[in-house]
Structure 1
Amino acid sequence: MVLVTGGTGFLGSTLIKILVDQGTAVRAIKREHAVIPDALVSSSLVQWVDADITDYFALSAIFTDVTQVYHCAAKISYQPADHAAMLHVNIEGTKHMVNLCLEHAARLVHVSSIASLGVSKNGELITEDSKWDDGADNSKYAVSKYESEMEVWRAIMEGLDAVIVNPSVIMGVGSGSKGSGVIFNMVQKGLQIYPPGTVGIVDVEDVAQLMVMLMNKPEISGERYILNSENMSNKELLDRISKLLGKPSPTIEAKPFMLGIAWRAAKLVSLIKRERPSLTREAALAAASKLAYSNKKIVDATGYLFKPVDRTLEETSRLF
């Protein structure tokens, strides 16, 4: 039996669709009130189970006959109010998953993040060998993914058969108005300002296909792989999306000091209105970061050809 966590999420649902299309029976974990995607509602090959990944005993009952696990579930947030819950879900949840995989001798493909790879030195490409810097100004999300990945490495040292993938920003059909889909919504509404940073992008189908490919390569174990199609500036990304949506490209660069003013103003407004800030310090820092990622290791290991970002953007833009 194949187990997938985060089954109703953007990546998890795409992965399940690929597995089902291959005729694979899947047991999928979801949150109690999560909505099952239309494409998977009627599939007889998917067994949906409501469970909290931080509940070890609930997870333990689900692991019966499980031989392969794809751990996609995670909480992503740059809101300070979410920090404690995010650290708990991402770290504690992963700890339970790897311990149960060890107990049941199940092979694991763990979805980490490029955020767990730290920052580059002197503008160099970030690779799987890049070192995490505790002294860097890391977001709480990055810390949660790094600590989660450490749980996997700990279990690997104890005999776990596992592979780790570190996707860059995941885009593609199915993102909806959340996650990377927010970018399309912002451009659709007439975005005029662009952040100065750079970003790595990968299509959701590429991530899911590579996860299945790695799962079915038992000779690969105890390895991590960056999954990234292309690196580009935020300006270039927004220009391409603007063209596809028939909207003017943003022309005003948000300088670091402007972002600093913006997140502080957003925090002040949120305190007055007693609501979440529209921009946080962590989100502003992430938008200004200039990082680039190498996909050489995964290409050398699998020969995989990533979908060009232009094609990903074109396919996604049709939904907007």
Structure 2
Amino acid sequence: MILVTGGTGLVGSHLLYKLVSENEQVKAIYRRTQTLDRVKHVFSYYTENYQSLYEKIEWIEADLNDVPDLELAFKDVNLVYHCAAFVSFEPDKYYLLRTVNIEGTANIVNLCISNKVKKLCYVSSIAAIGHEPNPNQFITEQTDWNPEDDNSVYAITKYGAEMEVWRGTQEGVPAVIINPGIILGPGYWKGGSSGNLFRLIHKGLNYYGSGSSGYIDVWDVCDIMYQLMKSDLVNERYILISENLSFNDFQTKVAKTLNVKPAKKVATPFVLELGWRLDWLTSKLLGKRRKLSKQLAKSVRTQSVYNNSKIKNALQMEFNSIDNSIDKVAKFYLKDTKSI
């Protein structure tokens, strides 16, 4: 029996479709009933038989910090995909991020230990990997994390969650950690998902960041997770990116696919420094949620290039091209937009 946490998120919903399509026995954790419709919607992208596939899943209402409910979810489970996380770059969400991402992962790891789970797959992020001062230097799985850097609150808590997973490996739970780049996939067009980028670009952006990052689509992520859990590979972490792209190249490609104009102005350091300070002031005076933190302003102008050779060599695989991934996601976005 397989347990998936975060089953109603972007990765979790697509992973569930992959697992039930492979006739695996699956349990999935959810927190709010209304989020279950998202999973059905994702399934409906790929088959008219989505309802019967969806009904193969044993759904369990549980919170990562509610241990008694989690204990029930772990009954008869031997493989765990831990996809659940809270995504936010707002500094005032730090303690909530710790509660969900670190303490919640610690609970999952402890239950994996006590239930003698055969293998755990944890979905981390490239945010939890260190930075290279030289923008031309590839970031790898061995790049050191520097706790003295001005890391985002999200990155800090994802790194802390990884430490809980590594603790679990020392206490007898074989595990793999994946560090995906920006995950492109359909069905989640608002909030912290990359789908929000498609929505914002479609609405029209004024500025683009001068930095770069790594990208991968959700279908590659789920295929890799499945292959890793089927393999003998344990106690390793893997960077998952298909391609490194500048933010300008990415938003230009998306805009072209959506048939809208891309942003033409680069967000200069001055604009970003001014922007995050005004955002902070607005938050303090009006109580509005932060949209641009100091760390996020730094990130969008940082050149980061990632090396994906470890996972390619481990699984002898090739990634989907980002051009094809963008085209595929954009078509789903336009379809969903017309139906609203």
TM range, smaller chain: over 0.9
Q: Which runs of 5+ in 1 are unaligned?
A: none
RMSD over aligned CA atoms reads 1.4
Query: What residue identity is the alignment partner of 1:239?
Result: T
Give the AA of the match of 1:286: S
- Picking from 89, 113, 118, the partner of 2:125 is 113
Shift of 1:51: 0.4
Who is 1:10 aligned against?
Answer: 10
Distance in structure 1 (CA, Å) of the matches to 2:290 and 2:125: 24
Instruction: Give the structure 2 partner of residue 144 of structure 1.
Output: 157
Instruction: Say whether residues 1:87 and 2:98 are aligned partners.
Output: yes
1:213-228 equivalent positions in 2, closer than 5 A: 213-217=227-231, 219-228=232-241
> Aligned equivalents of 2:290 and 2:76: distance in 1?
45
Residue deviations 1:246-303 (CA, integer Å, cap 9, x gap): 1222111111121010111122223333221332223212212211111100000101
Matches within 5 A, 1:21-100: 21-36=21-36, 37-38=39-40, 39=43, 42=52, 43-100=54-111
Between the aligned partners of 1:309 and 1:70, the Cα distance in structure 2 is: 25
From 114, 134, 149, the equivalent of 1:103 is 114
| TM-score, normalised relative to structure 2 | 0.91
Kept after mapping to 2: 8 A contact 1:225/1:298: yes
Q: Tell me whether 1:241 sits opposite 2:250 in the alignment.
A: no
Structure-1 separation of matches of 2:158 and 2:291: 23
Structure 2: runs of 5+ lacking an equivalent: 44-49, 335-340
Q: Which residue of 2 aligns with 1:186?
A: 200
Q: Distance in 2 between matches of 1:30 and 1:288?
A: 36
Which amino acid in structure 2 is aligned with residue 21 of structure 1?
S
Cα deviation code 1:50-70 (max 9, x no counterpart):
101112222112111000000
Equivalent position of 1:313 in the other structure: 326
Inter-partner Cα distance in structure 2 for 1:298 and 1:47? 31
CA contact (8 A) 1:8 1:34 kept: no
Whole-angstrom CA distance in 2 between matches of 1:32 and 1:314? 31
Q: How many residues align?
A: 319
User: Whole-Å Cα distance in 2 between the matches of residues 83 and 140 of structure 1?
Assistant: 6
Q: Distance in 1 between matches of 2:219 and 2:251?
A: 21
Deviation for aligned residue 1:203: 0.4
Residue deviations 1:47-97 (CA, integer Å, cap 9, x gap): 111101112222112111000000000001011232110111100111111
Tell me the percent identity: 39
Q: Does residue 275 of structure 1 match 2:275?
A: no
User: Once the 2 structures are TM-superposed, how far is the Cα of residue 221 of structure 1 from its aligned partner?
Assistant: 0.7
Cα distance between partner residues in 1 of 2:131 and 2:242: 18
Residue aligning to 1:160: 173
Give the SS at the match of 1:196: coil
- Quick one: distance in 2 between partners of 1:284 and 1:215? 36
Q: Cα offset for 1:41?
A: 5.3
Q: 1:209 to 1:196 in 2, by over 3 A?
A: same
Q: Aligned equivalents of 2:202 and 2:186: distance in 1? A: 16
Residue 292 in 1 paired to residue 317 in 2? no
* TM-score normalised over the length of structure 1: 0.96
- Separation of aligned partners in 1, 2:300 and 2:134: 18
Which 4+ residue blocks in structure 1 deviate beyond 3 angstroms?
none
Task: Work out which of the residue numbers 190, 199, 213 in structure 2 matches 1:199.
Answer: 213
C-alpha spacing 1:41/1:82, structure 2 compared with 1 (3 Å): farther
Q: Would the aligned equivalents of 1:24 and 1:45 in 2 still touch at CA under 8 Å?
A: no
2-structure distance, mates of 1:277, 1:158: 39
Give the distance between the partners of 2:314 and 2:303, measured in 1 at CA.
Answer: 27
* Kept in 1: contact 2:81–2:121 (CA 8 A): yes
Does the CA-based 8 Å contact 2:10-2:185 persist in structure 1?
Answer: no
Larger displacement relative to structure 2 (286-295 or 307-316): 286-295
DSSP 3-state at the match of 2:76: coil
